[in-house]
């Protein structure tokens, strides 16, 4: 990832060329969305979709195809808007970043300056006591490329990435298209297990048997193990980039799964539109979310800073406010996809969605809130956070009844012939049994009768028959206290 023209494509090309064996040079290299590169530390697969846009679009579909992000920054330029965006997108995904300081061959290269600037974004170079690996490279001359590959290997060693080759394959669709002669062509990355020709593959909502597989050098493959990118033929339906795939054993089970997925997709299409802040409260409260992710866009840098500061200060012990990305300018499709992938709300201060961003937000179910007064933005977020907190219930006392006589009926069990002393007793209400001022039981009222009829409520001064849900040990002169639980909005 990285800013435009900082050398992502050139670096990928350089890595690929350096790795093609002499005999293969000039031979066909298939474009299949990823390159597999052999290093002394083992193979590394580079996704050939340089840019945080594709990365985040995939993540929004639920796929994390990347273990490490290589951030390319031109040494003669510096941290640019898309550099910052890339950092935020990688960070939101929780993927570690390795920095390739590119164009080191250029006379104006200032690699230390780049380190300085990125430190400001929280990427402290390891050589300065931080956590991030920085490598000076030149895609033009090839300087440092070997070291970059080593750093990637080093980083992944620390992460202990492991996959079982001897299991049914799982992975992610990198891209897919319809070819006139060959039908659906899906370029996939195997993440777990081994994919075999003839396997029954479920990708997106499509199920089909693998007819043929080809690797990134155009070689026919019978099997593809973990981290292999391959081109797959044989799927009947076009999957989407970011769709996860699985190998399934049983056609019937798989069809059930396809049906369930189709239904889920249809349901999602219905529910993702027109999501209000109200829905958000409920959703978040139900999901026991403890974090509120925000993307903040504004017309001027000053108000971005003010908003970030004020909003993050709203964090409490229970809910943490994370500002995952900020920027100056209209709300873009990228912002929306990042929000979608990170379940974030977008706050626009004096800015609106640009181009297709509004439509994409709607289809992705991302909430975009526009404000022109900082206080209003703060107030709404505060409310959203109240939705984040688990609902709080308050007991509302309804009334008291005294047990005057206990009847035991064969079916109903113990019935408390009672007299309502104050307030009222309600069917469906909660009850406490108090004997000599000591609480002996707490539960719910099972039934409530006046004479022979079931009733909803009996008020003070009347007699009634009460049965309690699961409690028969009633005594004369017990007090039955009736109350209700009321949900109140949680206060911060």
Enumerate binding residues for ligand GDP (CB under 6 A): 2, 4-10, 50, 102-103, 105-106, 138-140
Specify the residue, 50 or 399, whose C-beta has the smaller distance to ligand GDP: 50
Specify the residue, 145 or 420, whose C-beta has the smaller distance to ligand GDP: 145
**Token pair 């992000």 is at which residue?**
69
Specify the residue, 146 or 402, whose C-beta has the smaller distance to ligand GDP: 146
Q: Which two tokens stand for residue 395?
A: 């007991």
- Minimum Å distance from CB 109 to ligand GDP? 9
- Minimum Å distance from CB 354 to ligand GDP? 22
Task: Report strand pairing: 453-454 vs 438-450.
Answer: antiparallel
- Minimum Å distance from CB 127 to ligand GDP? 21
- Minimum Å distance from CB 7 to ligand GDP? 3
Would you call 262 helix, strand, or coil by DSSP?
helix
Would you call 279 helix, strand, or coil by DSSP?
helix
- Minimum Å distance from CB 100 to ligand GDP? 10
Specify the residue, 110 or 449, whose C-beta has the smaller distance to ligand GDP: 110
Beta bridge partner(s), residue 326? 296
Specify the residue, 101 or 360, whose C-beta has the smaller distance to ligand GDP: 101
- Minimum Å distance from CB 240 to ligand GDP? 24
Specify the residue, 81 or 443, whose C-beta has the smaller distance to ligand GDP: 81
Q: Which two tokens stand for residue 103?
A: 């164009």
Would you call 169 helix, strand, or coil by DSSP?
coil
Integer angstrom CA distances of residue 91 from 199, 219, 292, 312: 36, 36, 15, 17
Tell me the residue number closest to ligand GDP, measured at CB: 7
Separation of CA 288 from chain center: 14
Q: 51 with 14: CB under 8 angstroms?
A: no
Specify the residue, 114 or 238, whose C-beta has the smaller distance to ligand GDP: 114
Burial class (CB in 10 A: 0-12, 13-18, 19+), 470: exposed
- Minimum Å distance from CB 139 to ligand GDP? 4
User: In terms of Cα–Cα distance, which of 143, 138, 124, 140 is closest to 72?
Assistant: 138
């Amino acid at each position: 990832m990285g800013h435009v023209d900082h050398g992502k494509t050139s670096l990928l090309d350089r890595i690929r060329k350096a790795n093609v064996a002499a005999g293969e040079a000039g031979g066909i290299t298939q474009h299949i969305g990823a390159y597999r590169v052999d290093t002394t530390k083992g193979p590394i697969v580079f996704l050939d979709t340089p840019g945080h846009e594709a990365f985040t679009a995939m993540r929004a579909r639920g796929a994390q195809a990347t273990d490490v992000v290589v951030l390319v920054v031109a040494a003669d330029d510096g941290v640019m808007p898309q550099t910052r965006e890339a950092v935020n997108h990688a960070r939101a995904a929780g993927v570690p970043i390795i920095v390739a300081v590119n164009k080191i061959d250029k006379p104006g290269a200032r690699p230390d300056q780049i380190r300085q600037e990125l430190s400001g974004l929280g990427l402290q170079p390891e050589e300065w006591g931080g956590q991030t690996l920085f490598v000076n490279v030149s895609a033009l001359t090839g300087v440092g490329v070997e070291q970059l590959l080593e750093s990637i290997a080093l980083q992944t060693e620390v992460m202990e990435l492991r996959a079982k080759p001897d299991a049914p394959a799982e992975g992610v669709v990198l891209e897919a298209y319809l070819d006139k002669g060959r039908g659906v062509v899906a370029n996939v990355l195997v993440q777990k297990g081994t994919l075999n020709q003839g396997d029954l593959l479920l990708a997106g909502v499509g199920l089909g048997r693998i007819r043929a597989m080809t690797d990134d050098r155009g070689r026919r493959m019978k099997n593809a193990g973990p981290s292999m990118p391959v081109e797959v033929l044989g799927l009947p339906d076009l999957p989407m980039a970011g769709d996860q795939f699985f190998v399934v054993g049983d056609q019937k089970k798989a069809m059930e799964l396809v049906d369930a997925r189709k239904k889920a997709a249809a349901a999602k299409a219905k529910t993702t539109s027109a999501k209000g802040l109200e829905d958000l409260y409920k959703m978040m409260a139900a999901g026991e979310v403890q974090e509120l992710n925000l993307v903040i866009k504004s017309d001027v840098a000053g108000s971005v800073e003010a908003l970030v500061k004020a909003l993050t200060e709203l964090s409490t012990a229970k809910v943490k406010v994370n500002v995952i990305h900020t920027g100056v300018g209209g709300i873009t499709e990228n912002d929306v996809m990042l929000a979608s992938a990170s379940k974030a709300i977008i706050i626009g201060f004096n800015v609106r969605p640009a181009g297709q961003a509004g439509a994409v937000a709607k289809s992705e179910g991302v909430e975009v809130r526009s404000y022109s007064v900082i206080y209003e933005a703060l107030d709404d977020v505060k409310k959203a956070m109240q939705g984040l907190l688990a609902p709080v219930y308050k007991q509302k006392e309804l009334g008291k009844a005294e047990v005057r006589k206990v009847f035991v009926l064969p079916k109903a069990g113990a019935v408390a012939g009672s007299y309502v002393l104050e307030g009222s007793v309600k069917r469906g209400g909660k009850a406490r049994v108090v004997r000599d001022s000591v609480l002996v039981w707490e539960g719910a009222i099972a039934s409530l009768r006046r004479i022979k009829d079931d009733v909803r409520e009996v008020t003070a001064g009347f007699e009634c028959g009460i049965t309690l849900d699961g409690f028969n040990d009633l005594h004369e002169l017990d007090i039955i206290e009736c109350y209700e639980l009321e949900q109140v909005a949680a206060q911060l």
